[in-house]
């Protein structure tokens, strides 16, 4: 998908056990039939039940998948491959190209033909150890381990479908390459056609799930409405919620992050439906809430979702960053190098943040990239890949930003501080420049190469940013088989959760391994598809 500026995220970034039988043998399938599920019942509340409408139509399927993104497509693939019939995918987006999964630029995996060709020997075991320790064991470790083990198989599936992949660089300086970059445009459309042709999977778009359909404590489908307002009961033996999170739901974001603006760098269909429906069915909402932060450019509420304005990149240059008071609050190199993980997380703990540059840097950006301006430090791979080119039409871009209200210009630092209301900015710049002169960051320990003085001659430009994110992480609890769990840890018969709405799989902050958002979504979708095929057989 393209942004409003006509530039896709992809343009900025240069198997496991495949069958259900193998997973049963390995103890990775629950081997539960409907009759062997837990009998604990927990129906929707009376208030929730009252919202169920009289359906205009009832559609029955064997397996119902709510969501056509990364997890949903992989679930349909594995269920079909396992021999399940009558698989139906419904989605609130208008087409397969419109979902967030189609925007994914790359996905994580090790032990693939691509990593082997690069001479890399980083193992699945090492990757799992890194991720579970990064998460401090706050996830379901058995679920995470299975999903990590399935990562190489995800790549095999894309190869099978003819979706082009290349191995990307180690952008986050973690010591190994594992992001497999997609080269096929509209890869989700390729996936949809394969599912329709190979397994007879049916798709219904512009159809928004609203409520869980419950019978005797079991989930038997969802009630949805189509674009014409028709109420449809979708009945199924097994239902998967893979709706992509709630990045497009300001109210749900406010519940987690408070009174701050988070810019949704996404399509508009991620409304938290899966989380709400799972809760309505009786699933327990887990406490982990995270964001897949925009790792290309900063964001500002004045522009919204925009990857085309080059001035947004200044947020990730690694220079001085301050909060809404003008105080420094982080090691800025983290934002420059770990914008999806720890660096991006830091921006969620201030109301908004600002970057400041003098005219000397602005003039230099017309001739060379910021990466070159600060001496081309080899350790900053993201800088080399993303910020190594001069900025075209810079004067006009700056004037447009000033007119829009997210860049402030003044002859002195005091001038821009007054315009933005940053009372502490002058004091902060003075202290920061002293550290830059000494080559030692005594506050947050930033690398000396990134300590570039600010007050080196006006005029000055102050850039205002808000956190931006591609998606949320977190939702309701599941077991190691992606089955939705109640507060008492009993499974809700017939209900599964995969992708970023699975509350037991993702960490906060985002794993420091690039591509794991999509990788775990693909893997958990596959696991859910295997489970549902076994459950309904």
Low-confidence ranges of the chain (pLDDT < 70): 1-50
Q: Where are the domains of the chain?
A: 47-291+473-536, 300-466
What is the reported pLDDT for 394?
96
- Helix spans in 242-347 (H): 250-257, 273-280, 332-337, 342-346
Query: Strand locations in 187-341, DSSP E?
Result: 202-204, 207-215, 218-226, 231-241, 263-264, 290-293, 321-322
Closest of 527, 513, 500, 476 to residue 69, by C-alpha = 500
pLDDT of residue 6: 37
DSSP letter for 60, please. Answer: E
Name the 3-class secondary structure at 303.
Answer: coil
- Residue 45 DSSP symbol: P
Helices 124-134 and 151-160: crossing angle in degrees, nearest 10, is 120
Q: Give the H/E segment covering residue 48.
A: helix 46-49
- Give the three-state DSSP class for 136: coil
Instruction: Name which CATH class applies to 47-291+473-536.
Output: alpha beta
> What's the CA gap between 482 and 169, in Å, rounded?
32
Beta carbons within 10 angstroms of residue 310's beta carbon: 17
The CATH architecture that domain 300-466 belongs to is Alpha-Beta Complex (3.90)
Q: Let me know the angle formed at the C-alpha of 345 by 344 and 351, rounded to the nearest 5 degrees.
A: 95
Q: Say which DSSP state 448 is in.
A: G
Angle, CA of 399, 401 and 403, to the nearest 5°:
70
Distance CA(477)–CA(501), nearest Å, equals 9
Tokens of 353: 């943040």
Task: Please report where in the chains the tokens 């998908």 appear, as a residue.
Answer: 1
Determine the pLDDT at residue 5: 34
Containing 521, the helix (H) or strand (E) segment is helix 516-536
Render pLDDT for 40-57 as a digit per residue (tens, 0 to 9).
333 444 334 548 999 999
Q: What are 374's two structure tokens? A: 């600060």
pLDDT of residue 25: 35
Residue with tokens 């794991």: 516
> What was the pLDDT predicted at 35?
35
Q: Note whether 318 and 332 are within 8 A (CB).
A: yes
Number of residues in the chain: 537
- Pick the closest to residue 5 from 303, 248, 268, 239 (CA basis): 303
Integer CA distances (angstroms), 294 to 22, 306, 471, in order: 37, 11, 9
pLDDT digits (tens, 9 = 90+) for 154-188: 999 999 999 999 999 898 889 999 999 999 999 99
What sections of 321-474 are H helices per DSSP?
Answer: 332-337, 342-346, 359-365, 370-373, 381-386, 394-404, 413-420, 425-438
């Amino acid at each position: 998908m393209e942004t409003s500026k006509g530039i896709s995220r992809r343009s900025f970034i240069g198997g496991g056990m495949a069958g259900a039988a193998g997973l049963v043998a390995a103890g990775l399938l629950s081997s539960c039939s409907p009759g062997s599920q837990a009998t604990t019942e927990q129906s929707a509340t009376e208030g929730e039940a009252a919202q169920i409408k009289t359906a205009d139509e009832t559609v029955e399927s064997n397996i119902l998948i709510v969501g056509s993104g990364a997890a949903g497509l992989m679930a349909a693939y594995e269920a079909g491959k396992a021999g399940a019939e009558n698989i139906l995918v419904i989605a609130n987006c208008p087409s397969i190209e419109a979902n967030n999964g189609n925007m994914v630029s790359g996905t994580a995996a090790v032990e693939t033909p691509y990593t082997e060709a690069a001479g890399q020997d980083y193992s699945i075991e090492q990757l799992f150890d890194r991720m579970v320790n990064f998460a401090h064991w706050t996830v379901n470790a058995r679920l995470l381990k299975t999903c990590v083990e399935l990562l190489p198989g995800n790549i095999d599936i894309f190869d099978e479908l003819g979706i082009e992949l290349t191995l990307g660089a180690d952008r986050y300086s973690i010591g190994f390459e594992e992001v497999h970059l997609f080269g096929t445009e509209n890869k989700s459309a390729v996936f949809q056609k394969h599912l329709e042709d190979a397994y007879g999977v049916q798709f219904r778009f512009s159809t928004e799930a609203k409520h869980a359909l419950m019978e005797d404590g079991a989930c038997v489908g969802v009630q949805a409405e189509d674009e014409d307002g028709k109420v449809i009961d979708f009945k199924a033996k097994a239902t998967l919620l893979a709706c992509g999170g709630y990045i497009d739901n300001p109210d749900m974001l406010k519940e987690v992050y408070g009174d701050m603006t988070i810019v949704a760098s996404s399509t508009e269909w991620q409304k938290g439906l899966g989380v709400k429906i799972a809760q309505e069915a009786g699933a327990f909402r887990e406490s982990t809430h995270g964001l897949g932060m925009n790792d290309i450019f900063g964001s500002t509420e004045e522009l919204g979702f925009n990857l085309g304005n080059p001035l947004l990149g200044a947020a990730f240059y690694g220079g001085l960053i301050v909060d809404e008071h003008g105080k420094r609050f982080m090691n800025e190199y983290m934002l420059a190098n770990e914008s999806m993980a720890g660096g991006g997380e830091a921006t969620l703990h201030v109301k908004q943040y600002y970057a400041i540059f003098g005219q000397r840097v602005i003039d230099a950006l017309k001739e060379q990239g910021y990466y070159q301006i600060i001496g081309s430090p080899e350790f900053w791979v993201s800088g080399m890949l993303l910020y190594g080119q001069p900025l075209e039409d810079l004067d006009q871009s700056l004037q447009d930003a000033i007119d829009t209200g997210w860049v402030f210009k003044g002859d002195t630092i005091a001038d821009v501080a007054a315009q933005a209301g940053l009372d502490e900015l002058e004091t902060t710049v003075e202290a920061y420049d002293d550290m830059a002169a000494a080559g030692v960051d005594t506050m947050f320990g930033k690398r000396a190469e990134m300590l570039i003085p600010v007050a080196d001659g006006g005029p000055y430009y102050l850039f205002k940013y808000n956190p931006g994110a591609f998606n949320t992480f977190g939702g309701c609890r599941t077991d190691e088989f992606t089955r939705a769990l109640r507060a008492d840890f009993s499974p809700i018969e017939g209900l599964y959760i995969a992708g970023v709405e699975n509350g037991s799989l993702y960490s906060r902050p985002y794993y420091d391994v690039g591509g794991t958002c999509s990788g775990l979504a693909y893997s958990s979708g596959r696991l859910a598809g295997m489970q549902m095929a076994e459950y309904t057989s």
